[in-house]
Structure 1
Amino acid sequence: MSILRDIAATYRRPGAVLRRHLRAGEREDRALATLMAGCVLIFVAQWPRLSREAFLTGAELSPLLGSTLMAWVFLAPLLLYGIAAVAHVGARIAGGRGTFYTARMALFWSILASAPMLLLHGMVAGFIGPGPALDLVGLAWLAVFLWFWIAGMRVAEWPLAPAGAATGQE
Structure 2
Amino acid sequence: MADPVRKKPHLQAVREGNPGKRALDEGLQLPPGDLEEPDWQETFPTVKDRSRQAINRRAREVARREWRRVVPVLKHTAGLAAVDAAALQDYCICVARIDQCERDLSRHGLVMEGERGMQKNGSATIVSQYRAQYKIYLREFGLSPSARVGIKPPGDDDDDSDVFD
Asked whether the two chains share a fold, i.e. TM above 0.5, the reply is no
Larger Rg computed on CA atoms: 2
More strand by share: 2
Identify the TM-score tier after normalising by the shorter chain: 0.3 to 0.5
- TM-score between the two structures when normalised by the length of structure 1: 0.37
More helix by share: 1
